[in-house]
Homo-oligomer: A and B are copies of this chain.
Amino acid sequence: MKNKVAMAFGSFDVLHPGHIRYLKGASRFGKLIVVVARDRSIKRLKGTAPLVDERSRREIIGSLRFVDRAVLGDRIGKWNDIYKIVARIRPDFLVFGYDQRVDLEYLRGFLLKHKLNCKVVRIGSYKAGKYKSSKLKKLIDAIH
C-alpha cells in the first residue's frame, strides 16, 4: 500500500500508547502524513493551550518510524477547518482514531465538492478509555 497516501490528525500533546497504535494502524494504509494541530487551534477548539508547543509536537511525531511526514495543520477557527489540508494533499485515506470527533456528513460533502476520491477509515480502540488524553491529564492532575 506504499504507493497510497494516508492522512492522520491529532494534537499529540502528551504522547501515549493510544497515539502510537493509532498512527501505526494508519501507516498500514500507505505513506503516512500526520497533521499536527497548531497551538492556537487547540486553544481555540479545546479551550486550553497544549503543554508542548507545536514545533516540538511536530518533531516528536516526525520521529516515529512509521510516520513518513508530520506537518502542522492550518490555522483554524472551527472543527471543520481541519479538512482544508485534505484538499491540498489529496490523500487516498483519511484515518481517524476511535474517539476522534468527525463530522461525517460535512466531510462527505467536502470530499464531493473537492472531487476527492478518499476513503474514510476509523481505527479500533486500544484499551479504550485507559489512555484517552483527557483521562491521562486528569490522572496527572490527581497525582501531583
Contact = CB atoms under 8 A, between A and B. Distances in A.
Interface string A42-65: 000000110110001001100111
Nearest to A141: B144
A56 B18 CA distance: 9
A15 interface: yes
Contacts of A131: 52, 56
Nearest to A134: B144
Given A63-B24, A66-B63, A51 B139 contact: yes
B141 A51 contact: no
Contacts of A24: 63
Given A64-B65, A65-B64, A20 B59 contact: yes
Contacts of A144: 137-138, 140-141
8 contacts: A17-B60, A20-B63, A49-B143, A51-B140, A63-B64, A63-B65, A138-B144, A141-B141
The 9 closest A-B pairs by CB, nearest first: A65-B65, A17-B56, A141-B144, A15-B15, A140-B140, A63-B64, A14-B14, A20-B63, A137-B144
Interface of A: 14-17, 20, 24, 48-49, 51-52, 56, 59-60, 63-66, 131, 136-141, 143-144
